[in-house]
Amino acid sequence: MDAVDRQLIQALRENGRASYAELGRLVGLSGPSVTDRINRLEAAGVITGYRATVDSASLGLGVIALIGISLSDAADHEDVARRMKDLGEIEDCWFIAGEDSFMLKVRAPDVDGLEKTIRRLSGTKGVSRTRTTIVLSTKWENRVGELPEEA
């Protein structure tokens, strides 16, 4: 991956709907050259997909919570992760080091909906404890940072 690839990735992170011609103007290449590079980055698994960013509150999901999950001693973390994947309220799931084993980002319609999700999580085989932090406001999300320079 060279500097032009990094520029393309950065541009796509900022605007995933940019045309190949627009991207070409940004990096000084023709549209077909940009197409070839992006296809190569996709085939190599560097670019893994494209998505729309949606305002969750407008979809009726106005409560955001971060939930730490501690596992029982005998729990298999892969099995617990598979069980949690069935909960559609979980937006993100990270296996982490520290006091908890997982950190979840959950979106719910209201506090009652969040409580139901916490009950379901608490009843999941292998989960010994949950710890919930409710988000009061979002200052930024899905922040696009600069990619590190190549070594």
pLDDT, one tens digit per residue, over 92-103 is 999 999 999 999
Are residues 99 and 67 both part of a single domain?
A: yes
The answer as to whether 148 is a domain residue is no
CATH number of the CATH domain containing 19: 1.10.10.10
* 37/100 same-domain check: no
Q: What is the pTM of this model?
A: 0.80
Domain that holds residue 26: 3-43
37 and 16 co-located in one domain: yes
CA separation for the pair 79, 151 (Å, rounded): 38
Separation CA 129–CA 101 (nearest Å): 10
Residue 60 and residue 39 share a domain? no
Task: Please state, in angstroms and rounded to a whole number, the distance separating the CA atoms of residues 33 and 38.
Answer: 9
pLDDT in tens, 65-92: 999 999 999 899 999 999 999 999 999 9
By the 8 A CB rule, do 66 and 131 touch? no
Looking at the structure, tell me whether residues 39 and 74 fall in a common domain. no
Query: Given this model, what pLDDT does residue 149 score?
Result: 72
Residue type, 26: L
146 in a domain, yes or no? Answer: no
The CA distance from 29 to 20, in Å, is: 9
149 within domain boundaries: no
Euclidean distance between CA atoms 97 and 106, whole angstroms:
19
Of the two residues 151 and 62, the one the predictor is more confident about is: 62
Residues 4-61 have pLDDT tens digits of 999 999 999 889 999 999 999 999 999 999 999 999 999 999 999 988 888 899 999 9
Number of domains in the chain: 2
Decide if 10 is inside a domain.
yes
| Predicted pLDDT of residue 14 | 87
Please write the tens of the pLDDT for every residue from 105-124. Answer: 999 999 999 999 999 999 99
Residue 101 lies in a domain: yes
Is the same domain home to 124 and 69? yes
